[in-house]
Amino acid sequence: MSPQVGIIMGSDSDLNIMQAAADVLKSFGISFELTVVSAHRTPMRMVKYAAAAKERGLKVIIAGAGGAAHLPGMVASITPLPVIGVPIKSSNSIDGWDSVLSILQMPNGIPVATVALNAAKNAGILAASIIGAFDADLGEKVTAYKQQLESEVLHKVDKLKSEGWSNSFD
């Protein structure tokens, strides 16, 4: 099955964060590819990747980057596909804010959906939701996932009640 989602990162040191996106996509049965594409060290590779992504069958790109974090925005400027940016707190990062703002503050006309710092899991869920909007079976899996989250929270509410904590909201 050809990949539907591209997961790219500026360095292999980002893999420990970006693995969460891959894990979520696997859990939903979404095919993906994962590679390193550096906006600064391999700009021609980045251009080639982004320019050919749609023609290769990708539907969404998840791009993780730390520091100056130009990768998601630059890819979004080249491809017509939705790009989800994952800001990563890297070793040269200023508490991650540089990455967050670099991805979040895109100029009008070049949107990048931005998740929280190091939140590759949310990027995977968002990619599944985007594809699921046009794929009924996947849409049902996303709905079931969200219902499971609700069930887990309600179970925690019941547990607090059973332990004697007051609960004024039902």
- Residue 130 belongs to domain with CATH number: 3.40.50.1970
Q: Which residues of the chain fall below pLDDT 70?
A: 167-168, 170
Binding site annotation covers 14? Answer: yes
Binding site annotation covers 95? Answer: no
In a domain, 154, yes or no: no
Say what the pLDDT of residue 9 is. Answer: 98
Binding site annotation covers 41? Answer: yes
Say what the pLDDT of residue 168 is. Answer: 64
**What's the farthest any 2 CA atoms get from each other in the chain?**
61
Residues 6 or more apart whose CB falls under 8 angstroms from that of 7 comprise 18, 21, 22, 25, 32, 33, 34, 35, 61, 62, 64
In a domain, 108, yes or no: yes
In a domain, 23, yes or no: yes
Say what the pLDDT of residue 132 is. Answer: 98
